[in-house]
Amino acid sequence: MTQPTPPWPMNQWYVAAYSSDIEAELFGRTICGEPLVFYRTVEGEVVALADRCVHRRFPLSKSQLVDDQVICGYHGFTYDRTGTCVAAPGQKRIPRSARVPSWPVAEQDSLVWVWIGDPERADTDRLPRAPWLDHADYTTVRGMESLAAGYELLVDNLLDLSHETYLHGGHIGTPEVAETPITTEVDEDAHIVYVSRHMDDAACPPFYARSTGIEGRITRWQDIEYHPPCLYLLHSRIAPVGTPDPVEGRPDDQAFRVEVVYAITPETERSTHDFWMVARDFALEDTEVSRFLAESNRTVVLQDVEALDVLQVVVESEKENYQELSINIDTGGLAARRMLKRQREAGALVEA
Ligand code: FES
Ligand SMILES: [Fe+2]
């Protein structure tokens, strides 16, 4: 039996929050159309429950957390960490159906992931990794912006960095980004799209000039690794022109590495949680570099947000069969779209 295709891949892990966001208090967030409430137990485990009381649907995120139990703020139904109602006002016997769904959660690399789909199929071996975010050799700055656009517009945006030249000039864009051709590879078995752009002799944009201290031209490598649906990694290598290419087993110590990570989490069909992180392997203790990178990256993300919010309105007002034109720079984005479509179709299939 087939159900309608959901607007996002089901039976997948999505980033719900940063680990530091979830404490021993109630935290509401909608993920893939599901209003959820999160909290951390006394033992440190993260719990995710449906954010609707089974009685009259009062949001549990607006309720009270006492001894790892959620007491509904309307009439006091009390839920344990599995979502089972353990107390109801005015009666001893609690109906067996008095429970709210609970959602599998995993915490890794300073990210809280939630499994959207059949809980029985939640498999932590399938969580993609971003180890720099929680590693002593890196310092990370991060944030999250709300996008009033569907997640696929953000995927398109991140898979094609030629837009840096035009949308982010003066921050991370220089002419060489748009001028340099890309190479794209798709690993169908591992579900990864790779897009690489290696610039041998490029201007150093302020984002890297001010953070690394490099004054001249640079070798700039952008190696994207997209793990649909949620995790996007941009391995960025910056080095003064003339620096030898890295060789296995030899330190690449004239180069600066920046790992830019995005988690692309649908909130609704037309809104997205845009998590951004910038991890660097230099100036680890320098708070001025941290402040500058955080501020610059946020500015860049907000430029994308502004553009994509406009694009969402345009796309929605367009006739059904509008034909876009794609060129070489879109190869990665098109591969990502195909992979997401397959994931959505797989998610729609249920056993008879
Ligand atoms: S709505 Fe929660 S107890 Fe009534
Ligand atoms: Fe951008």
Confidence of residue 4 (pLDDT cuts 50, 70, 90): confident
CATH code given to domain 20-105: 2.102.10.10
| Cα torsion through 128, 190, 10, 310, rounded to 10 | 80
Token digits of residue 151 = 């997640």
Query: How far does residue 275's CA lie from ligand 2's centre (Å)?
Result: 13
Contacts 24+ apart (CB under 8 A), 115-118: 115/11, 115/12, 115/13, 116/8, 116/10, 116/11, 116/12, 116/13, 116/14, 116/31, 116/32, 116/34, 117/10, 117/11, 117/12, 117/347, 118/10, 118/11
Q: What is the Å distance from ligand 2's center to 245 Cα?
A: 27
Average pLDDT over residues 119-139: 96
Of the ligands numbered here, which is closest to the C-alpha atom of 308?
Answer: 2
CATH classification (class only), 129-348: alpha beta
Atom 1 of ligand 1 has which residue's CA nearest to it? Answer: 56
Q: Are 38 and 48 in contact (CB under 8 A)?
A: yes
Structure tokens at 234: 């941009």
Ligand 2: centre distance to CA 48 (Å): 31
Which atom belonging to ligand 1 lies closest to the Cα atom of 56?
1
pLDDT band at 38 (very low <50, low <70, confident <90, very high): very high
Nearest to 19 by CA among 109, 140, 104: 109
Confidence band, pLDDT 50/70/90 cuts, at residue 349: low
The pLDDT assigned to 321 comes to 86
Report residue 167: phi and psi, to 5°.
Answer: -85, -30
> What is the distance between the alpha carbons of residues 217 and 207, in angstroms, rounded to a whole number?
14
Q: pLDDT per residue over 169-190, tens digit each?
A: 999 999 999 999 999 999 999 9
As a whole number of angstroms, the distance between CA 172 and CA 296 comes to 9
Mean pLDDT over 201-228 rounds to: 97
| Residue ranges of domains in the chain | 20-105, 129-348
Parallel, antiparallel or unpaired: strands 12-18 and 271-280: unpaired
pLDDT for 352 equals: 32
DSSP code of 328?
A: G
CA of 240 to the centre of ligand 2 (A): 24
Task: Note if the bond before 229 is cis, omega within 30 degrees.
Answer: yes
> What burial class does residue 115 get, using C-beta atoms within 10 Å of its C-beta: 0-12 exposed, 13-18 middle, 19+ buried?
buried
% residues pLDDT > 90 (the chain): 94
* DSSP line for 17-30: EEGGG--SS-EEEE
Mutate to test the pocket of ligand 1, among 26, 37, 55 (most ligand atoms within 8 A of CB): 55
Per-residue pLDDT, averaged over 316-329, amounts to: 91
For residue 88, pLDDT beyond 60: yes
Q: Supply the angle between the helices 287-317 and 151-159 in degrees, to the nearest 10.
A: 120
Does residue 80 register a pLDDT over 50? yes
